[in-house]
Amino acid sequence: MAPESRRRLITIAIVAFVLGILIIPSLFSSKTIKTVSYSMLIHDARHSEVISASINNSSGVITGQLSNGTNYTTNGPAPALTDEVNTLKNNNVTVTFANPSSFASTFLPYLIWILIFVGFFVFANRQAKGQMNGMMSVGRSKAKQFSEDRPKTTFADVAGYLGVKQEISEVVEFLKTPARYKEIGALIPKGILLVGPPGTGKTMLARAVAGEAGVPFFSVSGSDFMEMFVGVGASRVRDLFATARKQSPAIVFIDEIDSIGRKRGAGVGGGHDEREQTLNQMLNEMDGFDPTEGVVVIAATNRPDVLDPALLRPGRFDRQIVVPLPDLEERLPILQVHAKGKPLDPSVDLAMVARGTPGMSGADLANLVNEAALHAVRRHSETIGMEDFESARDRVMMGQLRDTMVLNDEERQRIAFHESGHALLSYVLPKTDPLHKITIIPRGMALGVTMTLPEEDRHIMSREHLEDSLCMRMGGRVAELLVFGDLSTGAADDLQRNTELARRMVREWGMSKEIGPMAWGANNQVFLGEDLMHTRDYSDHTSQVIDDEVERILREQEARAIEVLTLHRRGLEAVTSALLEHETLDGETAARLIDEAHGEPVHAHGTKTVSSLTGVSRAAAKNPTPEPALSPVATKPNWQPPTLPAV
């Protein structure tokens, strides 16, 4: 029973006991008691109307029964007069005397209050001992133990990640049947580190291990070791591993281990005594493991770069298992798991939904299914349809719809041209992702959105793809420049992302002839103390060359955007007019408008769009026939930038 429930029960019992003592005696007095005067009692006794009399010599109270069966009470002299007592006896009245020194009548009221006060002090003493025990147990581990009788999550509940589950299942098999591994001389890793982006299911995989293994499973978060008192974390680590050894074979799972496993001696102002002592104790405990003990540590983190090298060496965390973002084949079973039990419309194609959600983690896909269900409720539907998934994906990827924001006509026109510039370049350029949707309805922090979707999961990007991406982002700024002759603040995010991408192309990926095959500027984190005293590893001249190359790449792509938009000016105006009228266009409609304005299909072998989740992507890039050149500028990255209009 919980302490709070126990205290409540004791309080109710004490109150009921006191009320029972005060109320119950009165319930048993079923007969009526008549109060008479003392002289009337003597008068009735002389006339043989009194049957009995009980005299209390201490208080003078006389009680008894009359001949008609009525009980009476009266106050007489104390002590009773002898003549009057003889009068009662002479008239056949049964006379008795009450004991004036009765223990019950004298001490019972005091005894009740004594018991109440004693009970209160005992209760207060136990509370004080409980608080003291809580202070003394501050060094005990807060790990939760899961045993076989608890509800389980198994590997069947974790969709995808076959390679990850295979590696972790080896640990489960070792703990179940260690003899198989010992016969061949194989040693199971002492520690397994699950590494991956947030939301990829690292904690769920650990829960699946708890469900699959028939051994005790201890789950604790890295932050549970940290307290304001130095040494508490180390004490909890000792208690955790001692408990695990007693119940071996066992599994210890530490979530978010980067909170205690960061590099020692790093950070502004020196190290953190409590965290470093906790880490030192964990290193000692893992070193002290005997391979025959059967205790395996599984940890999860999304920041392996900040962990102390001593934690990652063999003998501690021997194996690192990467839990990446799910690919196309893994997203489908994940969606099926989260959609299980939900009323889906027969037209829903989860394979198409999986194809249209690249880069989403398992948590993102769960949120997508939930948003689709919420959208179905808002439109008063009993089933979840493809339009609900389409709306949910727009909500997740582009932000919340802000249809209450009012824009004036000039702002709407400028935003429409800006988004049309992005959309036209996305459709025309050969290496950009297929065009999906354009809207000038504010979403999230943006006043308008042009959305593209990759046809398939992409793991590396070529320079041509990067250059087309840079050119496409320049489309909004260039469209405003061509149409209005000036610029606005609407391209701030585009310029920031383009500058960062171009700088990485030059500094990290060697995509500059002037710089060559060299890379600089590792992204060390300041909070780790690695960049505070770190000098730049290249000269001032090289820094100037890097800046010049970044500027050259951006100006070339801006000039390329100017040339393509000038060539397709009629298509730009057609898409803008449709946006101002309808506010939202799908990719197929925008492609049709651009083709009609151009006089012929831009792509000879089909449109390069993804119009919706229900539509089919038609991309010319999949056709083996080479794409016809739009113009020399549109396909060659080396050109001289033309003269820009005056601002």
Give me the active site residues, please. 419
Tokens of 597: 């304005």
Residues 6+ apart with CB under 8 A from 125: none
d(C-alpha 506, C-alpha 556), whole Å: 14
Question: Are residues 220 and 254 in contact, defined by beta-carbon separation less than 8 angstroms?
Answer: yes
Residue type (1 letter), 577: S
User: With b meaning 16 or more CB within 10 Å and e meaning fewer, what string describes 466-501?
Assistant: bbbbbbbbbbbbbbbbbbeeeeeebbeebeeebeeb
For residue 213, give the nearest of 248, 183, 253, 176 by alpha carbon: 176
Peptide bond into 309 cis (omega under 30): no
d(C-alpha 105, C-alpha 541), whole Å: 107
Sheet containing 319-322: order of strands: 144-146, 217-221, 250-255, 295-301, 191-195, 319-322
Question: Are residues 608 and 623 in contact, defined by beta-carbon separation less than 8 angstroms?
Answer: no
Sheet containing 33-35: order of strands: 33-35, 71-75, 61-66, 50-56, 94-98
Tokens of 436: 């999906």
d(C-alpha 552, C-alpha 574), whole Å: 32
Tokens of 501: 């991408």
Q: How is residue 3 annotated by DSSP?
A: H
Question: How remote is the C-alpha of 51 from its chain's centroid?
Answer: 85
DSSP result, 199-266: TSSHHHHHHHHHHH-SS-EEEEEGGGG--SSTTHHHHHHHHHHHHHHHT-SEEEEEESGGGT-BPTT-
d(C-alpha 473, C-alpha 415), whole Å: 14
Indicate the SS3 state at residue 493: helix
Burial of 457 (0-12, 13-18, 19+ CB in 10 A): middle
d(C-alpha 157, C-alpha 588), whole Å: 38
Q: What are the C-alpha distances in Å from 68 to residues 3, 46, 52, 72, 368?
A: 59, 15, 12, 11, 89
Q: What are the C-alpha distances in Å from 163 to residues 166, 167, 317?
A: 5, 6, 18
For residue 397, give the nearest of 361, 349, 351 by alpha carbon: 361
Any idea of the CA torsion for 301, 305, 308, 310, to the nearest 10 degrees? 90
Residues 6+ apart with CB under 8 A from 420: 438, 479, 572, 575, 576, 579
Beta bridge partners of 219: 144, 253
Work out the number of other CB atoms within 10 angstroms of the CB of residue 316: 20
